[in-house]
Chains A and B, each alone.
Chain A
Amino acid sequence: MRERLSNALSEFTAAAALVVLFVALSFASPHFLTADNLFNIGAQTAVIAIIATAQTMVIITKGIDLSVGSVAALAGVVGAITVRDLGFSIWAATAVAIAVGALAGLVNGLLVTVARIPPFIATLGTMSAARGLVFIVTGAVGVYGLPESFQLLGNGQILGIPFAVVLTGVVAVGVAFLLAQTRFGQYTYAMGSNLEAARRSGIPVGRHLTAVYVLAGVLVGLGGMIAASRVNSGQPNYGIALELDVIAAAVIGGASLFGGQGRIIGTLIGAFLIALVRNGAVLLDISIHYQMVIVGLIIWAAVYFDQYRRRRLESRG
């Protein structure tokens, strides 16, 4: 099916880059192609992949969510606090963390749809406010002293597969299905592609856009909880600059900041491409400075390709 040929093109490029890098690393380091390392990469990338999935939904609507890092930190520390101070189970704490994320998403959604503040500005405000709340609820100290069970989401395993990886798979498949096969997904692409056309087609754009931000918030809350669980503590400084990583993952995977385009499979490829660069760099003991340059080059290449493709399509139209 060539329904989204243009998406498939940049996904193909990103996937090709991923494969090339994978093969290259397999030769460059004897430790790369081991089950342990691959599971490690999976677990390391889980949180970024889940939050990048959320970001992709927002980007498809022609929006952007800068608040993901702060909201993830808020969800993580609130979840950790409910376990430490209120004796919540990890599951109850996760529900609370997800609720925190959903609430932040609702705020973002209402700011965008009701207050009509551009997404960049609205979520910039949320980014700052949520980080402030993190420091207020933690007193600016990490939340420690958590029971062993708190590590389940981040460090547990199911049939030998990291639980975080399983969760990422469930989230990715679920959101991909939602976007590709349901009316919710159809509206999401339509709004990002041509908001006015969507409105005049009778789509309740305000309600639907808010729903997208809320769902994104749910995933960010889950991601924040996994991150906290992984380090068995609520870290007030978690997620600073996380929004850049997840936006990069989405863009590398073919999501367009002009809206209307992007698929979860592409975003996952983007997230793992970045993860491979970082993993490979450590395996080969390459300095962090070069890693950052390489990731930057990949973003440039991906966005340039996106622009190039759009220009060609437009010249045909």
Chain B
Amino acid sequence: MSTAPETERSVDPRDVTAEAPVLEARGIVKRFGHVEALRGADFTVRKAEVVALIGDNGAGKSTLIKTLSGVHAPDEGELLVGGRPVRFSTPVDARQAGVETVYQDLAVADDLSVAANLYLGREILRTGPLGRLGLLDKRAMRRGAAEALSQLGVRIPRVTTPIAMLSGGQRQSVAVARAIIWATSVVILDEPTAALGVVQTERVLDVVRRARDAGMSVVLVSHNMPQVLEIADRVEVLRLGRRAARFRADEVTTDELVAAMTGSLVTEKEDR
């Protein structure tokens, strides 16, 4: 699949001891007609960390996310997974590389059960000839779903309930859990709590923490600064299609984040 040549990995001077980032974007350019949505954007996710991606409206967040998840192919720049260059032409390519994405509204099929949603596109079939006929092993899927959800602390009445019967928070938790279960390296969450109340938000964030503690890397797109500081390990700020600043979450204030988003605080070099 990958046609890009193996390149010498440029090492971040401030973090020489770290192993290769699980997911890295370098100098991504993406144009839509005459509009340059990304103008050499960089992005880095390391193992077992929650990285928040923030930026003002129009900064290029969603374009970057779609590039990372295989929806858009970049015009320039490269993506690396575990240090190896990759090329995603479809969302399926990204998923095969271990990158799972939860989109705001497109996450789940309302009419299917929780278990069916968790296994959608990856159904467990019966063994033997029946399986070759496409016969589902529903029991195995129910069991697997119940196990995975309890590990992540997602509480729902039963895995056979249709998604449409769940509350918004439960629904989003299932969507996030689904991504976490199948991701092997990175989960990207696009505004996962935008439509949720306080209690429901806390539940979803709890699922995110557990995933991080289990060694998963999480990219979180959010507008909510206190929430970002509460859950993220690091924050990367996108401005005008480029990375404008990087912070450790425990060393930064909301004001500094806002300053970075509006351009009055820059930690990155203007030119590469």
Residues of chain A touching chain B, judged by Cβ–Cβ distance below 8 Å, are: 1-6, 181-184, 186, 189-190, 192-194, 196-203, 259-261, 313-314, 316-317
Set of chain A residues within 8 Å of B92, measured between Cβ atoms: 202
Residues of chain B touching chain A, judged by Cβ–Cβ distance below 8 Å, are: 91-92, 95, 101, 103, 106-113, 116, 120-123, 125, 133-136, 138, 158, 160-162, 164-168, 171
Set of chain A residues within 8 Å of B103, measured between Cβ atoms: 200
Contact B112 A186 (CB under 8 A): yes
Set of chain A residues within 8 Å of B108, measured between Cβ atoms: 194, 197
| 21 A-B pairs in the complex with CB atoms less than 8 angstroms apart | A2-B160, A4-B162, A5-B162, A184-B134, A186-B112, A186-B136, A189-B111, A189-B116, A190-B112, A190-B116, A193-B110, A193-B111, A193-B112, A194-B106, A194-B109, A196-B106, A199-B91, A200-B91, A259-B111, A314-B164, A317-B171
Q: Which residue of A lies closest to B157 (CB)?
A: A2
Set of chain B residues within 8 Å of A189, measured between Cβ atoms: 109, 111-112, 116
Contact A201 B164 (CB under 8 A): no
Contact B106 A197 (CB under 8 A): yes
Set of chain A residues within 8 Å of B161, measured between Cβ atoms: 2-3, 5
Contact B112 A183 (CB under 8 A): no
Complex CA–CA separation, A182 to B133 (angstroms):
8
Complex CA–CA separation, A19 to B68 (angstroms):
56
Residue from B133, B164, B166 with most neighbouring chain A CB atoms (10 Å): B164
Contact B135 A197 (CB under 8 A): no
Contact A3 B120 (CB under 8 A): no
Complex CA–CA separation, A201 to B122 (angstroms):
8
Contact A3 B160 (CB under 8 A): yes
Choice from B107, B113, B123, B164 contacting A313 with Cβ under 8 Å: B164
Complex CA–CA separation, A71 to B161 (angstroms):
38
Complex CA–CA separation, A197 to B103 (angstroms):
9
Contact A317 B162 (CB under 8 A): no
Set of chain B residues within 8 Å of A202, measured between Cβ atoms: 91-92, 95, 121-122
Which 10 pairs across A and B sit closest by C-beta, in order of nearness? A201-B121, A260-B111, A193-B109, A193-B111, A202-B121, A182-B134, A183-B134, A201-B120, A194-B109, A196-B106
Set of chain B residues within 8 Å of A4, measured between Cβ atoms: 111, 162
Complex CA–CA separation, A317 to B107 (angstroms):
15
Looking at the assembled complex, report how far the CB atom of B194 sits from the nearest CB atom of chain A, in whole angstroms.
15
Contact B120 A261 (CB under 8 A): no
Q: Which residue of B lies closest to A2 (CB)?
A: B160
Given that A3-B160, A184-B134, A316-B165 are contacting pairs, would A261 and B109 also be in contact in the complex, using a CB cutoff of 8 Å? no
List 16 additional A-B contacts (Cβ < 8 Å) besides A2-B158, A5-B162.
A3-B113, A4-B111, A4-B162, A6-B165, A181-B136, A183-B123, A189-B109, A189-B116, A194-B108, A198-B109, A198-B121, A199-B91, A201-B121, A202-B92, A313-B165, A317-B166
Complex CA–CA separation, A239 to B201 (angstroms):
54
Contact A5 B165 (CB under 8 A): yes
Complex CA–CA separation, A34 to B110 (angstroms):
44
Set of chain A residues within 8 Å of B91, measured between Cβ atoms: 199-200, 202
Looking at the assembled complex, report how far the CB atom of A224 sits from the nearest CB atom of chain B, in whole angstroms.
27
Q: Which residue of B lies closest to A178 (CB)?
A: B134
Set of chain B residues within 8 Å of A199, measured between Cβ atoms: 91
Set of chain A residues within 8 Å of B123, measured between Cβ atoms: 183, 186
Complex CA–CA separation, A6 to B111 (angstroms):
9
Given that A202-B95, A317-B164 are contacting pairs, would A183 and B125 also be in contact in the complex, using a CB cutoff of 8 Å? yes
Looking at the assembled complex, report how far the CB atom of A7 sits from the nearest CB atom of chain B, in whole angstroms.
9
Contact B113 A203 (CB under 8 A): no
Complex CA–CA separation, A4 to B116 (angstroms):
12
Complex CA–CA separation, A186 to B123 (angstroms):
9
Complex CA–CA separation, A143 to B6 (angstroms):
71
Given that A202-B95, A260-B110 are contacting pairs, would A190 and B120 also be in contact in the complex, using a CB cutoff of 8 Å? yes
Contact A198 B120 (CB under 8 A): yes
Contact A1 B120 (CB under 8 A): no
Complex CA–CA separation, A258 to B157 (angstroms):
26
Set of chain A residues within 8 Å of B120, measured between Cβ atoms: 186, 190, 197-198, 201, 203
Complex CA–CA separation, A196 to B138 (angstroms):
24
Contact A316 B112 (CB under 8 A): no
Complex CA–CA separation, A178 to B133 (angstroms):
10
Contact A186 B116 (CB under 8 A): yes
Looking at the assembled complex, report how far the CB atom of B127 sits from the nearest CB atom of chain A, in whole angstroms.
14
Complex CA–CA separation, A198 to B122 (angstroms):
11
Complex CA–CA separation, A309 to B106 (angstroms):
23
Q: Which residue of A lies closest to B108 (CB)?
A: A197
Choice from B101, B135, B162, B167 contacting A181 with Cβ under 8 Å: B135
Residue from A189, A190, A201 with most neighbouring chain B CB atoms (10 Å): A201
Q: Which residue of A lies closest to B178 (CB)?
A: A201
Residue from A1, A183, A314 with most neighbouring chain B CB atoms (10 Å): A183
Set of chain A residues within 8 Å of B165, measured between Cβ atoms: 5-6, 313, 316-317
Contact A194 B110 (CB under 8 A): yes
Residue from B121, B135, B167 with most neighbouring chain A CB atoms (10 Å): B121
Looking at the assembled complex, report how far the CB atom of A207 sits from the nearest CB atom of chain B, in whole angstroms.
14
Complex CA–CA separation, A199 to B162 (angstroms):
19
Complex CA–CA separation, A184 to B123 (angstroms):
10
Set of chain A residues within 8 Å of B167, measured between Cβ atoms: 316-317
